[in-house]
Amino acid sequence: MENMMDTVGDFILFYGLKVLIAVVIVVVGKKLARWLGDAVEKTLQKKEMDVEIQHFVSTLVYYAVLIFVMIAALGQLGIHTASFVAVIGAAGLAVGLALQGSLANFAAGVLILIFKPYRVGDFVEIAGVSGSVAKVLVFTTELNTGDNKRVIIPNGQAMGGTITNYSTNDTRRVDLVMGIGYGDDIDKAKRVLEEVVAADERVLQDPAPTIAVVALADSSVNFVVRPWVNKADYWGVHFALTEAVKKRFDEEGISIPFPQTDVHLHQVASND
């Protein structure tokens, strides 16, 4: 009986110590995981990363460290962890294959949040859709189109194609093509165009506007009108100049050709 009690005592002492060490590993490891997660988040904050990627990366670090802590605690209890590692690896591979498209969108989202090809509020063209960026998330980018539709684009498509950001630079060039008739005075038309452009206070003087003959088309002599404006004034100047040129041309008697077809009828003598 005494030997049995000694054996039980040794058993409790041996495994009790292992359990105690395992508990200490879990407690200390959990605090270490939390500390590392917070440290990573603070580092990303100093680098001015987006809030979404700060939270995601810090959470990923926390759970990755926690998994290693749990495996270490189980090993301390005498449980063989090789099988657990194999199961976790197989599960990770299966999940990766099942979520291949989502992981591609996630990877693209991380790149967008890090390199910032566009930001919230920018007017962009992505995957053939133009609009103002409403949200940049880890998996998707949301745009508000000009007619106020919300379009959600997977980040994989956004990074896989051409991104046109109209808001990155402070200025933009307005490109207009104005045609006059072949019988009209080219010098007069050019002077009128220069006056119309100069009359709009939103047009920048530097760089100077470009007004020149660009083509001798089938039914018109075409001018390019290319003034520079602040990006916020682009569409306002575009619409205003188009209207102002038409009114001035009418006042000055300068024609604006339009497509027309002349039909010639020939009478054929009858054989009867």
Read off the CATH number of the domain in which 149 is found.
2.30.30.60
Please report the pLDDT score of residue 69 as a whole number.
80
DSSP state of 232: G
Strand partners, 180: 221
pTM score of the predicted model: 0.63
Residue 105 lies in a domain: no
Q: Position of tokens 């995957």? A: 127
Q: Is residue 143 located within the same domain as residue 178? A: no
Q: At what angle do helices 100-115 and 82-98 cross, to 10 degrees?
A: 80
Looking at the fold, whether 199 and 143 belong to one and the same domain comes out as no
For residues 17 and 68, membership in a common domain is answered with: yes
201 and 218 together in one domain: yes
Range of the domain at 239: 171-252
3-state secondary structure of 129: strand
pLDDT at res. 38: 83
Cβ neighbors of 209 (< 8 A, separation 6 or more) are 194, 197, 203, 225, 226, 227, 228
- Is 177 domain-assigned? yes
270 within a domain of the structure (yes/no): no
As given in the structure block, the two tokens for residue 20 are: 């105690």
**Do 182 and 154 have their domain in common?**
no
- Asked if residue 110 is part of any domain, the answer here is no
Q: Which CATH number is 85's domain given?
A: 1.10.287.1260
pLDDT the model gives residue 100: 54
Q: Does 192 share its domain with 212?
A: yes
Is the domain of 226 the same as that of 189? yes
pLDDT of residue 44: 72
Residue 32 and residue 67: Cα distance in Å, rounded? 12
- Asked if residue 61 lies in contact with residue 36, where contact means CB atoms within 8 angstroms, the answer is yes
From the first residue on, what is the mean pLDDT of each consecutive set of 10 residues in the chain (272 residues)?
54 64 81 83 72 70 80 72 62 55 78 86 92 88 92 91 92 95 94 95 94 92 96 94 95 85 68 58
Q: Does residue 231 lie within any of the structural domains?
A: yes
Residues 176 and 157 placed together within one structural domain of the fold = no
Domain co-membership, 186 together with 134 = no
Confidence (pLDDT) at 5: 53
Structural domain contains residue 190:
yes
Are 228 and 181 in the same domain?
Answer: yes
**For the chain, how many structural domains are there in total?**
3
Does residue 153 sit in the same domain as residue 181? no
